[in-house]
Structure 1
């Protein structure tokens, strides 16, 4: 589940650092990674390439790891490997052809249904063979199930795993389950899905977990819901935490007094310059708000708006994120603009009369002492004029502007998440020369230039590795998931009932003109004539 990273768990109890005996849980030994839905588009394009890059960097040692693909499609091991190969061999891995071949040999395929015992019993036998071949010591067997599947099959697959594929007591170790977003379609469906899966892995399993760990056993099951956005890398996104909490300048920037005097708006943007591209049937079921805004952009908003946590422990960070979400006021219809790009319904998998938005601009308002009166604008869309994900903080105009700078645009702090990861401050400087005139420029930290030779991991790599390590910082609790859905469910229901219609917009444009008008009403001033150019190496 894209961009983000959700962990459903008991809020007050399921804390890794509070588990009795948690220090005895092994993070070494036999590791079986099972990709469910292995023959699908997501697994080929994202999951397997992420696993390959982790393998290249030494995080998946071949003497410990085996990868299993599971799906209904009846193909052989070699057929699956050949399907994956083309997504591993690219510009990044052209010099690793031998590594590609070695990695593919770690993959074995098992075919079976998602709701019948036979396939999962066979899968369990194959996993056991791997564990035995690695001579796993007691308590050192690890199983990670990655769901590259639609949410409709989550409950049945979880039942099969719970009954047939959990770690056996003679090997112990852990079982962790990772699912892709979207997790439900609204508050009720998300809560229902949480309860269905929670009956198998969450609260009942946790109750058993305390007793088991007190006996120095390590049979555990974690349930992670990942909100992974392939276009929203978490390396620089989580730099927000460091930016927010370290350094006098940054603390001053977030000081309440300065904030009320200086900030005018915060804009969180996710743009794609392509349409649904063969995923029309899937996308039409969810739309841009469920696909991007309710999860990925809302997570970024939390990192931007949260207060300083007690510590950097995952639970303390998530406590502050939940407070932000619970402070968001109900969304007003007049502060929403929906769009649908022309040609979207030409996709044969999309219903002819589809009302699904492919573009949305939504203004959220946080009702607390720090952010009262500051609009947070979330904007996402497909088939636009550019591809980027960024956070844009715009400052108010300087009182008594004797240099007449307003016509050139406001000062802004921009965090570019992708592409060309960077943080830069747009500000007015003196135009070189003898005249006393101003020009807009920037103070620029471009990652590609500053950190040459350093690989910035893709979101899927980061979050899969965190799951293996048991690092829950990028995952979200059940109460956070509930709060996120509470914000958007009323709006989504109005859209589903056709009470709100998307406005047509041209492919390759900025989206509907009404969206820019909404931004202007919220106090946003566009900069004309200035374009940030990423530095070249």
Structure 2
């Protein structure tokens, strides 16, 4: 077999495989260990992502073995049975054959997260797989995916370091994937970083933020730096404000106890939306090398001014504390609008409005870049709304330009319309990969571009920790709002104060196929 990644000639054919030189995956054994294998994250996200990579030919069954590890005492077949239901949703008959083959790659090991015995047994099982598969010139690779609460990261990483490192004669690597949120404030994040940093090099640590794997987020660098007409417009001379929005039309729904520990700022704004802000605001990197891109993201974060309390609105939906797992007098916000200001030459004076909330009147995530008014408005169309460039991250992935055009007919009247690139219409038959698929594949490749570096994590926490401590101490309190609303009315007032002009009478409708 040649070098490169295993590739299936037809996406739904599990028998025909070839090796493609142009792909950058290495050959040799690959052991993927999912810690927390019996939990919801692993069943709903991690294992389905691995299955889709397998189905598309990125995981060679002749080289890959998947190990589940958790405290639950179950058999291999019991774990496979628990996972199967999440893999067959919407599956075709050919997919069902692939599901069966994929599940046979999974082996389960039971053990505690701080006990030597379980991890020694895990290492033994991995070694058996490596010894049975490795060729003399191959490499053995170990990828540990921690689908676990951050509180157990230190003990689990210590166990991996002491008992499960790749020490075979075949070379290769060991990599650790940890889920965010990574800590609860600057101090806890730095403590966690120190504990893991003492065990592994930064090049071995992959801090996953699934928002960075979304298709439209991945498109940001291409849009900004590969299109001439954006380059001269992308600055404070032309842009009035930028909104980055995350809205859900449901509440905590069974996750109240977990959510109340973190709140909407830690859960969404400080990590997901701030990562998107970096890609919107960063300067052009020297190259597409991961370190060059991450260098520019860090510069953006280090340029953010301290948050002004007058530019923060917090909310909590009515009924949130009815959840028995939530304290009766919880001060945790389920909604927040925060204005960030970047102190540099490109963005001085441009408000970046980060808004996230649960139990609102719609479900969407989008970036909305609003341009300044046209000077000398001879058509007197300002009241209709400004030009906007909108990137819809989910659902109905799309990007569109809102612009003013002539209303068809004999009279000279204007109307808001759009230039629209809707992915479902333009790329019919093209499957948009799940974020976790892309990020797991990047980990296997060793590409850290879409993962959070330690200094980037620190800079992000430095921005939000003072605000979070004031909320935790009860100095700032959330305003009540009704489920199914837009959130607290004060949030709309803050947007208006920040310079955002809402378009009235215009609604973007995703095109139907």
Q: TM-score, normalised by structure 1?
A: 0.89
Q: By how many angstroms is 1:136 displaced?
A: 4.1
C-alpha distance after superposition, 1:317-347 (max 9, x if no partner): 1111111100000001110011111121111
Superposed displacement of residue 92, structure 1: 5.2
Counterpart-to-counterpart distance in 2, 1:39 and 1:260: 49
Tell me, yes or no, if the aligned pair for 1:340 and 1:356 is still in contact at 8 Å.
Answer: yes
Change (3 A) 1:63 1:318: same
Distance in 1 separating the partners of 2:257 and 2:107: 30
- Whole-angstrom distance in 1 between the partners of 2:239 and 2:372: 6
- Aligned equivalents of 2:405 and 2:377: distance in 1? 14
Any conservation in 1 of the 2:134–2:140 contact (CA below 8 Å)? no
What CA distance in whole angstroms lies between the structure 1 residues aligned with 2:47 and 2:338?
Answer: 34
- Distance in 1 (CA, whole Å) between partners of 2:253 and 2:66 is 29
1:20 aligned partner: none
Q: The residue matched to 2:47 in structure 1 has which SS?
A: helix
Show the 5 A alignment for 1:315-394.
315-394=291-370
Q: Which residue of 2 aligns with 1:27?
A: 26
2:465 aligned residue: 489
CA distance in 2, matches of 1:122, 1:136: 23
Q: Residue 223 of structure 1 aligns with which residue?
A: 205
| CA deviation string 1:420-455 (max 9, x = no partner) | 111110000000001111110001111121122211
Q: Which structure 2 segments of 5+ residues have no match?
A: 1-23
Scaled by the length of structure 2, what TM-score is found?
0.93
List per-residue Cα deviations over 1:277-316 (Å, max 9, x = no partner): 2111111111111111111111110100011111111111
Please say if residues 233 and 417 of structure 1, whose CA atoms lie closer than 8 Å, have aligned partners that are also in contact: no
Q: Deviations over 1:362-421 (max 9, x none)?
A: 000000111011000001111111111110001122223232312222110101111111
SS, match of residue 510 in structure 1: coil
Tell me the residue number matched to 1:448: 424
Aligned 8 A contact 1:272 1:387 in 2: yes
User: Are residues 1:292 and 2:268 paired?
Assistant: yes
Taking the aligned partners of 1:116 and 1:42, their CA distance within structure 2 comes to 23
**Following the alignment from structure 1 to structure 2, what is the Cα–Cα distance between the partners of residues 517 and 72?**
49
Q: Name the SS of the counterpart of 1:250 in structure 2.
A: coil
Q: In angstroms, what is the RMSD of aligned CA positions?
A: 1.5
1:166 aligns with 2:165: yes
3-state DSSP class of the match of 2:224? helix
Establish whether residue 430 from structure 1 lines up as the match of residue 426 from structure 2.
Answer: no
Aligned to 2:178: 179
Higher relative contact order (CA 8 A, sep 6+): 1
| Deviations, residues 146-167 of structure 1 (Å, cap 9, x unaligned) | 0000011000000100010001
**Residues of 1 paired with 2:25 and 2:315: CA distance?**
49
| SS of match in other structure, 1:201 | coil
Q: Secondary structure at the match of 1:158?
A: helix
1:499 counterpart residue number: 475
Q: Structure 1: any 5+ residue segments left out of the alignment?
A: 1-24, 204-220
Tell me by how many angstroms 1:456 deviates.
1.2
Deviation of the 1:266 alpha carbon: 0.3
* Superposition deviation, residue 53 in structure 1: 0.8
How many angstroms apart in 1 are the aligned matches of 2:322 and 2:91?
35
**Greater mean alpha carbon deviation, residues 301-310 or residues 395-404:** 395-404
CA distance in 2, matches of 1:235, 1:457: 7
